[in-house]
Amino acid sequence: MFYIKNIFNEYYNTLSRWKDYKSRSPRRECWIFNCINIVCYFVLLQLRDTITQQNVFNIFMGITYIYVLFILIPSIPLVIRRLHHLGFSGKWYFLYLFAYIVDDFFLDDGIYEDLFS
């Protein structure tokens, strides 16, 4: 029981440090935050998929999107603090974002269809 309370305290501390870009985050903080978010996201998806009524389905879809946006805000500083802990600058995260944006919006999807079909 004490260990679970510790885990959720650490999760809450990570959420409350959403404006902190200067300090460092250890590996444990990053793993706890990501694991709890994955479990919560899959629970929301399972609840959404078990509902057959369209209006309730739309409500759970909205809740899922709000949750993802709510978690996106503290996850960016967490990754930057983790990079600081590893000895890198937080600017390396923007290189990752740039590569992600280029991949999603500018590269042709036909390449993937040819490789994996």
Domain spans of the chain, in order of start: 2-88
116 or 59, which is more confident: 59
pTM higher than 0.85, yes or no?
Answer: no
What pLDDT, on a 0 to 100 scale, did the predictor assign at position 39? 94
What pLDDT, on a 0 to 100 scale, did the predictor assign at position 116? 59
Pick from 18-22, 33-37, 89-93, 100-104: least confident = 100-104
What pLDDT, on a 0 to 100 scale, did the predictor assign at position 115? 56
Q: Give the whole-angstrom CA distance, residue 117 versus residue 112.
A: 8
Distances (CA, A) of 31 to 18, 37, 67, 107, 116: 16, 10, 18, 31, 31
* pLDDT, tens only, 59-88: 888 888 899 899 989 998 998 999 888 889
Q: Give the confidence band of 109 by pLDDT, cuts at 50, 70, 90.
A: low
Write down the mean pLDDT value for the chain: 83
Q: Give the confidence band of 46 by pLDDT, cuts at 50, 70, 90.
A: confident
What pLDDT, on a 0 to 100 scale, did the predictor assign at position 64? 87
Q: Give the confidence band of 33 by pLDDT, cuts at 50, 70, 90.
A: very high
Q: What single letter denotes the amino acid at residue 63?
A: I
